[in-house]
């Protein structure tokens, strides 16, 4: 018990001493001293204190010989803190402000990577995802032979698949809405077809193609008489296209059923 009490006292003493030193740094008007202490906190991985001090002194030392390193350390401190938005902002500022500096390649990559980390789930607005793709593309264009170029390309592919997921969810929503307040099947087809045009190599290609077939069939089933033949013929054409592209699809039975029903209807027009 006595040893435990002694340990607690020593710990509190060290904490209070540390707080006292930190307050002393904050109150100091010596930019050089504060800069050195900020670096110490950064190296000790005390990113909260490092960020606070760097943010205070950066406007003062901007334009000096320490400015570039300060930006670099501040960006990394924000990153270490888990604040990807601010980290990305300062990495981007570093890259644009010092295009010939020693940190420029890393800065461009980290600016993109921070956007990647903040990319939201597919159901949400994908503006950050698109920004991350653009940032990685810029990095690869500027540094095609860098050690992170391949990794950046992999991230681009991953982010593009997230955009596909977003559009696919929209297409499925149109399909589920059916004829509610209009012909949503047509919107489902257009949205899904645009996915395949923009992302022809997506891993969701089969599911997207099958949704197009289902939407065309549903549109035919719910069609007015004068559009019946054209829409069922379009369904049959889509069926042939689907089975040609995906001969071993798990959706084949359902696709064949839609095909057979379409053929029955079309016999009326022969």
Convert the pLDDT of each residue in 215-245 to its tens digit. 999 999 998 888 899 999 999 999 999 999 9
pLDDT beyond 70 at 7? no
Length of the chain: 270
Query: 183 burial class (0-12, 13-18, 19+ CB within 10 angstroms)?
Result: middle
Residue 148 — very low, low, confident or very high, per pLDDT cuts 50/70/90? very high
pLDDT value for 13: 46
pLDDT value for 21: 79
pLDDT value for 71: 95
Helix (H, G, I), strand (E, B) or coil at 100: coil
pLDDT beyond 60 at 3? no
pLDDT beyond 80 at 261? yes
CB burial readout 68-101, b (16+ within 10 A) else e: bbbbbbbbbbbbbeebbebbbebbbebbeebeee
Predicted structure pTM score: 0.83
98: left (phi over 0), alpha (psi -120 to 50) or beta: beta
pLDDT value for 215: 97
pLDDT beyond 50 at 183? yes
| Domain ranges across the chain | 163-270
Tens digits of per-residue pLDDT, 84-100? Answer: 999 999 999 999 999 99
Tens digits of per-residue pLDDT, 96-125? Answer: 999 999 999 999 999 999 999 999 999 999
Q: Can you list the alpha helix ranges (DSSP code H) found in the chain?
A: 2-27, 31-43, 47-61, 67-81, 84-97, 104-117, 127-142, 149-177, 184-198, 205-221, 225-245, 252-266
Query: So what CATH class is 163-270?
Result: mainly alpha
Cβ contacts of 188 within 8 Å, gap of 6 or more: 171, 172, 174, 175, 211, 212, 215
Tens digits of per-residue pLDDT, 10-44? Answer: 444 454 445 567 877 677 777 788 888 989 999 99
pLDDT beyond 50 at 130? yes
As a whole number, mean pLDDT of residues 58-76 equals 92
- Mean of pLDDT over the chain: 90
Cβ contacts of 94 within 8 Å, gap of 6 or more: 68, 71, 72, 75, 101, 103, 104, 107
């Amino acid at each position: 018990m006595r040893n435990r009490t002694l340990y607690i006292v020593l710990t509190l003493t060290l904490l209070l001493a540390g707080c006292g030193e930190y307050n002393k740094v904050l109150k100091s008007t010596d930019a050089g001293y504060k800069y050195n202490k900020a670096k110490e906190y950064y190296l000790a991985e005390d990113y909260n204190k490092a960020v606070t001090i760097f943010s205070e002194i950066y406007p003062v030392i901007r334009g000096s010989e320490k400015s570039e390193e300060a930006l670099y350390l501040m960006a990394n401190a924000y990153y270490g803190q888990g604040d990807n938005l601010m980290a990305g902002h300062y990495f981007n500022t570093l890259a644009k402000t010092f295009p010939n500096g020693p940190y420029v390649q890393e800065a461009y990559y980290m600016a993109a990577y921070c956007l990647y980390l903040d990319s939201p789930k597919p159901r949400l607005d994908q503006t950050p995802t698109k920004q991350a793709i653009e940032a990685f593309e810029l990095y690869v264009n500027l540094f095609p032979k860098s050690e992170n170029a391949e990794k950046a390309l992999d991230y681009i592919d991953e982010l593009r698949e997230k955009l596909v997921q977003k559009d696919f969810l929209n297409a499925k929503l149109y399909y589920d809405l059916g004829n509610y307040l209009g012909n949503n099947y047509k919107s489902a087809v257009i949205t899904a077809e645009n996915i395949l045009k923009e992302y022809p190599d997506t891993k969701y290609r089969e599911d997207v193609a099958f949704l197009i077939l289902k939407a065309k069939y549903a549109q035919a089933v719910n069609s007015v008489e004068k559009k019946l033949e054209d829409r069922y013929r379009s369904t049959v054409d889509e069926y042939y296209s689907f089975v040609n592209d995906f001969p071993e699809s798990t959706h084949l039975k359902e696709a064949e059923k839609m095909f057979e029903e379409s053929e029955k209807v079309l016999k009326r027009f022969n």
